[in-house]
Amino acid sequence: MFKGKVAVVTGSTSGIGLAYARAFAKEGANIVINGLGDAAAIETERARIETDFGVKCLYSPANMLKPEEIEGMVKLAETELGSCDILVNNAGIQHVSPIEEFPIDKWNMIIAINLSAAFFAMRAAIPGMKARKWGRIINTASAHALVASPFKSAYVSAKHGIAGLTKTAALETAQFGITVNAICPGYVWTPLVEKQIPDTAKARGISEEEVKKNVILAAQPTKEFVTVEEVAAYAVFLASDNARSITGSMQSIDGGWTAE
Ligand code: NAD
Contact present, 45 and 13 (Cβ < 8 Å):
yes
The DSSP bridge pattern shows strands 135-140 and 86-89 to be parallel
- 8 pLDDT higher than 90: yes
Residue 213: its pLDDT value, please?
85
Alpha-carbon distance of 119 to 123, in angstroms, equals 6
pLDDT at residue 212, as a whole number = 85
Q: Indicate whether 103 and 128 sit together in one domain.
A: yes
- Among the listed residues 59, 155, 187, 234, the single catalytic one is 155
Are 194 and 120 in a shared domain?
A: no
Do 78 and 172 sit in the same domain of this protein?
yes
Q: Residues 81, 179: one domain?
A: yes
Q: Model confidence over 213-240: pLDDT tens digits?
A: 888 888 899 999 999 999 999 999 999 9
Q: What is the number of structural domains in the chain?
A: 2
> Is the Cβ atom of 156 under 6 angstroms away from ligand 1?
no
pLDDT for res 196: 87
- Measured CA to CA, the distance from residue 233 to residue 95 in angstroms comes to 28
93 lines ligand 1 (CB under 6 A): yes
> Does 1 map to a domain?
no
Q: How far is CA 118 from CA 63, 193, 195, in A?
A: 12, 21, 23
* Residues recorded for the chain: 260
141 CA: nearest ligand 1 atom: 44
What is the per-residue pLDDT for 215?
87
Instruction: Report CA(63)–ligand 1 centroid distance (Å).
Output: 13
pLDDT tens profile 159-203: 999 999 999 999 999 999 999 999 999 999 898 888 889 999 999
Same domain, 176 and 147: yes
248 occurs within a structural domain = yes
Q: What is the 3-state secondary structure (H, E, C) of the chain?
A: CCCCCEEEECCCCCHHHHHHHHHHHHCCCEEEEECCCCHHHHHHHHHHHHHHHCCCEEEECCCCCCHHHHHHHHHHHHHHHCCCCEEEECCCCCCCCCHHHCCHHHHHHHHHHHHHHHHHHHHHHHHHHHHHCCEEEEEECCHHHCCCCCCCHHHHHHHHHHHHHHHHHHHHHHHHCEEEEEEEECCECCHHHHHHHHHHHHHHCCCHHHHHHHHHHHHCCCCCCECHHHHHHHHHHHHCHHHCCCCCCEEEECCCHHHC
Classify residue 181: in a domain, yes or no: yes
Give the distance (Å) from ligand 1 centre to CA of residue 91. Answer: 4
What are 18-67's pLDDT values in tens digits? 999 999 999 999 999 999 999 999 999 999 999 999 999 999 999 999 99
Ligand 1 in contact with 184 (CB < 6 A)?
no
Looking at the fold, whether 35 and 97 belong to one and the same domain comes out as yes
Cβ 92 vs Cβ 10: under 8 Å = no
* 194 exposure class (CB count in 10 Å sphere: 0-12, 13-18, 19+): exposed
Interval 79-132: pLDDT, tens? 999 999 999 999 999 999 999 999 999 999 999 999 999 999 999 999 999 999
Q: Which residues contact 113 (CB under 8 A, 6 or more apart)?
A: 64, 65, 91, 92, 93
With a 6 Å cutoff on the Cβ, whether 13 touches ligand 1 is yes
Which pLDDT score is estimated for 72? Answer: 98
| pLDDT value, residue 192 | 84
- To the query of whether residue 59 is one of the catalytic residues in this protein, the response is no
Establish if 209 belongs to a structural domain: yes
Measured CA to CA, the distance from residue 240 to residue 237 in angstroms comes to 5
Would you say the C-alpha torsion 223, 225, 227, 231 has a positive or negative sign?
positive
Question: 105 and 25 in one domain?
Answer: yes
What domain range includes position 56? 6-188+227-259
For residue 81, is it within any domain? yes
Q: From CA 101, how far away is CA 37, in angstroms rounded?
A: 28
End-to-end C-alpha distance for the chain, whole angstroms: 36
Q: Categorize the per-residue pLDDT at 5 as very low, low, confident or very high, splitting at 50, 70 and 90.
A: very high
Q: Are residues 109 and 205 in the same domain?
A: no
Same domain, 106 and 146: yes
